[in-house]
Structure 1
């Protein structure tokens, strides 16, 4: 599956990228899904830091999620829906591959900005899919999806028969 940097996503769909970034920045803690050694999913909490122009996933050394990503870099991060879970700003998820950061200059710049507890693992994000689902008009879902090399797609799903229709 083709992956893309955050910069490429932002260049392709700047308004959508801003909406997704803002949604992740509303709350500190989010939910990460990784793949365990046996192939089953592991779901854990983490913080997503938008620094140096892209999202980073930081975690404690040798944590299960870090070891999962080192073995199999596939992940999905679901933005915290908020305290009331009404998701007034939509439900957002990014998926892709997590690439461990080993460049000393990038690590130093991240440490300088974030001041994380050390030691830690740091992963940058290569996107394979970005999804936002929100309510439109109270009872219609607006589903937006972006994948590398494709334009943003929007669908609507009403309460009637549950079918999807392309949104203009």
Structure 2
């Protein structure tokens, strides 16, 4: 497993595409979780990068967070509207872990308020999910050829080209 910062350091190509797509969609991604009955769920989410961590935060008491409480495995996908993926596409895989550090929660709330004006200062976050990443991939079109970049922690990136 890897932190967000470890991912960025080891997978600069995928991280750059993620940041570009994240910015282009107003920070919107799609989160895949496992429902109580074992079936998949896809939900919109606005993850945040804070202090070298990828945070899976959002409206409390939602079913996606109940899913993560039962089974922390997830896939985070950059929202894609172009079937030709001209601007790229990223999937990140991992496990969401609840971090009970109240000081971290307050620093996050302060930073969120400074950035967006959305005021969660003084509120308690339970759960407060931090992503531990187990892998990632991106898809781009490079010189008319499909390029799939794959990352696993400690192994760096490798690119597979498909005609």
TM-score range, shorter chain: 0.7 to 0.9
Partner-residue secondary structure (3-state), 2:5: helix
- 1:16 shift after superposition: 3.8
Determine which of 137, 140, 147 is the counterpart of 1:134: 140
| Aligned residue pairs, count | 154
Unaligned runs of 5+ in 2: none
Whole-angstrom distance in 1 between the partners of 2:153 and 2:13: 16
Q: Give 2:152's match in structure 1, choosing from 117, 129, 147.
A: 147
Which runs of 5 or more structure 1 residues have no equivalent in the other structure?
159-168
Write the distance in 2 (CA, Å) between the matches of 1:122 and 1:26. 25
Q: CA deviation at 1:29?
A: 1.7
Aligned to 2:111: 113
The aligned counterpart of 1:80 is 79
Q: Which digits, 9 at most, give the CA deviation of each residue in 1:20-41, with x for residues without a partner?
A: 2333232122111000111110
Larger RCO (alpha carbons 8 Å, 6+ apart): 2
Corresponding residue of 2:99: 101
**1:59 maps to what in 2?**
58
Cα distance between partner residues in 2 of 1:64 and 1:26: 26
Query: Is the alpha carbon distance of 1:45 and 1:78 closer, same or farther for their aligned partners in structure 2, counting shifts above 3 Å?
Result: same
Once residues 6 and 141 of structure 2 are traced to their aligned partners in structure 1, the CA distance between those partners, rounded to angstroms, is 27
2:87 match: 89
TM-score normalized with structure 1 length: 0.82
Rate the CA distance shift 1:108–1:85 in 2: closer, same or farther, 3 A: farther
Mapped to 2, the partners of 1:91 and 1:14 lie a distance apart of: 14
